[in-house]
Amino acid sequence: MTKKEISIQFLKYSASGQSRIAFELFVSQQFKHHNPFFKADPDSLIVAMEENAKLFPEKRIEILRALEDENLVSIHSYVKLFPTHVGIALIHIFRFEENKIVELWDFGQAVPEDMINENGMF
């Protein structure tokens, strides 16, 4: 499995409420997370992902772009928390060591109801 494929599977498991499986399969013991709204340890992120999946059981993630460059993978995705939700644009950056995720950055932006840019966000 390529690093790009691992990253995509990690996000799909996590979005579906299976973050513990995602971490067991794909994440290093030296994992670090960079998001100002969560503690940096894996357990805090696992619990947050599980709680989010329970809160939004119809959540769907659509992978739009996936780029791999040596030990880095970047994923651009579109997440809808429920069918009528306008969605969130997300970018995840993964850093790998020995085919395991050791570092993760994630950035999100809500899709606005009214967009000025005629090209949209995607």
Q: pLDDT tens digit string along 26-73?
A: 999 999 999 888 888 899 999 999 999 999 999 999 999 999 999 999
Indicate whether 117 belongs to any domain.
no
Span 74-81, average pLDDT:
97
Indicate whether 121 belongs to any domain.
no
Q: Which domain holds residue 79?
A: 3-110
Indicate whether 63 belongs to any domain.
yes
Indicate whether 26 belongs to any domain.
yes
Indicate whether 103 belongs to any domain.
yes
Half-sphere exposure of 9 (CA within 13 A, CB side): 16
**pTM for this one?**
0.93
Q: For residue 80, what is the domain's CATH number?
A: 3.10.450.50
- Percentage above 70 pLDDT, the chain: 100
Indicate whether 120 belongs to any domain.
no
pLDDT, the chain, mean: 95
Does residue 8 come out as left (phi exceeding 0), alpha (psi in the -120 to 50 range) or beta?
Answer: alpha
From start to end of the chain, where are the E strands?
A: 27-34, 60-69, 72-80, 88-97, 100-110
Span 69-90, average pLDDT:
97
